[in-house]
Amino acid sequence: METQGDLNSVEQMNEQMKIRLEKVSQLREAGYHPYAERFDRNYRLAEAAVLADGVKGVKVAGRIISLRYFGKLAFGHLYDVDGKVQFAVQKNKIGDKKFEEFKRLIDLGDFIGIEGEVITTKTGEKTIDIDNFTFLTKTLRPLPEKWHGISDPEIRLRKRYLDLISSEESRIRFIKRTQIIRTIRNYLDDNGFTEIDTPVLTNKATGALARPFLTHHNALDIDIYLRIAPETYLKRAIAGGFDRVYEFARSFRNEGMDASHLPDFTLLEYYCAYWNYVDNMNFTEALFKHLLQTVNGGLTVTYEGTGIDFSGEWPRYTFRELIMKDCGVDIDKFDTREALLKEIDRQGIRFETDVEIASAGRGTLIDLLYKKVSRPQLIKPTFITGHPLDLSPLARKNDSNPLTVDRFQLVINGWEVVNAYSELVDPVDQTERFKQQAEARAHGDKETMDVDNDFLQCMEFGMPPISGWGMGIDRIIALLTNASTLRDVVLFPLMRPE
């Protein structure tokens, strides 16, 4: 129900919009275009803010975020995502007529272009003393006061453009997101990787254990999926002769949402011919240390008050060792889902999940157990190895212990940041595992992988030894920018309609 305060706010908004709409006509009458075609800048705002005093002919443009008048003088600030710069408007410099038009027709939120000389005010702030201004865009809705509406997290997510205008923290975070992705891309390129594109619409939901989004292709009249991972296509590229490939892939999983999970997210995957998972682990540690040094200038990060140290050699534990240490269950002693579920029940361990426990396969149960008792305790970067075979349908069996696979996960602050394999390239073994996944699916386990016959045929033509991994870009960005949820590092996250 709307309150009287809500109604008053709406009425005030309508009145201000009415006034601004009237100014559109007044701008035209005064000879200004209220929605100009272009403006010829010679500096960005951040560049202009560091120019030496006395530089003339400086042309910049931006949104007015502050404006105050002192008789025949006005000060304001222009803003863009890189920063802001102060400007000064003097009546005796631009003339009575233009000064009065500026004062009467220009509001907070409007876009203008200015030309003038760089000075430093008595308060020590770099300022552009305006010789001339060009009106660019009339804003019809007044900007909310940043200490008011934008404190509402719902508004920050739904109207990110307002969040960017009002919050320096948000601007820095999304600029840093770009820096993180660029740094990783450059590191991969410098180490011989090639960036490629793979399909978003697929016939099979393969590449990970996840529930897919299903849609329909009208022209082909077939049901198809939004990809849950680019894995099998990147491996096809390796089979075709690429040595090292990667992709920053928008991926989609029709599952729950929480602080560390989104249904649509950015997934980086890469694959390297002739590596095994140990080579991959070593490369991963080097990549992360390079990333932190480049972006953060050091190997220590503070996330929500917790210090995370990335220096030194990162610890490596097997899956079995962790679970035994944290709850006493030796997963190797329970070789069926029934036996494992009975032991979990005996110990009184309960899972908070939307997975149907009664129909979950052994691999899914082991994964749930690990996430319950072990993963939350892992703060420092830690490699987890020795995953059970039935938890990894695309990973290579370990030569010494065929009940496990050559796989690792990198866990930081309780988040699985990287998932990596020595990839399975044996088509006979892969066929058998696909069959096991299909049987689990038939018994109600929805977090299983569908049989992909086209991928199997590719494997039958032969693949070299391969190791690769996937990393949720949004998760590592959240860690490095101290964001409490993944939605805080996605510019425009999916929201339920208002």
Condensed to tens digits (0 to 9), the pLDDT of residues 418-441 reads 999 999 899 998 898 888 877 877
The residue type at 314: W
Take residue 258 and report the two structure tokens written for it: 């929480």
State the average pLDDT for the chain.
Answer: 91
Q: Are residues 95 and 219 in the same domain?
A: no
Q: Are residues 410 and 268 in the same domain?
A: yes
Condensed to tens digits (0 to 9), the pLDDT of residues 159-196 reads 999 999 988 899 999 999 999 999 999 999 999 999 99
Phi, psi dihedral angles at 457 (to 5 degrees): -65, -40
The residue type at 279: D
Q: Which pLDDT score is estimated for 95?
A: 96
358: Cβ contacts below 8 Å, ≥ 6 apart? 444
Residue whose pair of structure tokens reads 């309780």 in the numeric block: 414
Tell me what the mean pLDDT of segment 408-421 comes to: 93
- What is the number of structural domains in the chain? 2
CA distance 370 to 373: 6
CATH number at residue 302: 3.30.930.10
Tell me what the mean pLDDT of segment 76-87 comes to: 94
More confident residue, 279 or 13: 279
- Measuring CA to CA, which residue among 143, 141, 138 is closest to residue 28? 138
- Measuring CA to CA, which residue among 410, 450, 417, 408 is closest to residue 433? 450
Phi-psi region of 494 (alpha: psi -120 to 50; beta: other; left: phi over 0): beta
Q: Kindly state whether residue 367 falls inside one of the protein's structural domains.
A: no
- Domain termination residue (choose one: 116, 137, 158): 137
- Domain termination residue (choose one: 120, 137, 154): 137
Q: Are residues 196 and 125 in the same domain?
A: no
Q: Kindly state whether residue 119 falls inside one of the protein's structural domains.
A: yes
b/e per residue 154-188 (b: at least 16 CB within 10 A): eebbbbbebbbbbbeebbebbebbebbbebbeebb
Q: Are residues 50 and 128 in the same domain?
A: yes
- Measuring CA to CA, which residue among 229, 226, 205 is closest to residue 217? 226
Q: Kindly state whether residue 344 falls inside one of the protein's structural domains.
A: no
Q: Kindly state whether residue 38 falls inside one of the protein's structural domains.
A: yes
The residue type at 370: Y
Q: Are residues 8 and 130 in the same domain?
A: yes
Condensed to tens digits (0 to 9), the pLDDT of residues 90-135 reads 999 999 999 999 999 999 999 999 999 999 999 999 999 999 999 9
Q: Are residues 300 and 449 in the same domain?
A: yes
Residue whose pair of structure tokens reads 């690429």 in the numeric block: 242
Q: Which pLDDT score is estimated for 10?
A: 63
Q: Are residues 293 and 390 in the same domain?
A: yes
Condensed to tens digits (0 to 9), the pLDDT of residues 126-146 reads 999 999 999 999 999 998 765
Phi, psi dihedral angles at 86 (to 5 degrees): -85, 150
Q: Are residues 196 and 124 in the same domain?
A: no
Q: Kindly state whether residue 35 falls inside one of the protein's structural domains.
A: yes
Query: For residue 62, what are the β-bridge partners?
Result: 112
Q: Kindly state whether residue 479 falls inside one of the protein's structural domains.
A: yes
Q: Are residues 439 and 481 in the same domain?
A: yes
Q: Are residues 129 and 191 in the same domain?
A: no
**Percent of the chain that is helix, strand, coil (3-state, to 5):** 40, 25, 35
Condensed to tens digits (0 to 9), the pLDDT of residues 444-486 reads 776 667 788 899 999 999 999 999 999 999 999 999 999 999 9
Q: What angle, rounded to 10 degrees, do the helices at 4-29 and 96-105 form?
A: 150
Q: Which pLDDT score is estimated for 148?
A: 46
Asked whether 227 and 204 are in contact (CB, 8 A), the reply is: no
Q: Kindly state whether residue 364 falls inside one of the protein's structural domains.
A: no
What is the domain range of residue 44?
Answer: 4-137
Q: Are residues 297 and 387 in the same domain?
A: yes
CATH number at residue 9: 2.40.50.140
Q: Are residues 440 and 484 in the same domain?
A: yes
Q: Kindly state whether residue 153 falls inside one of the protein's structural domains.
A: no
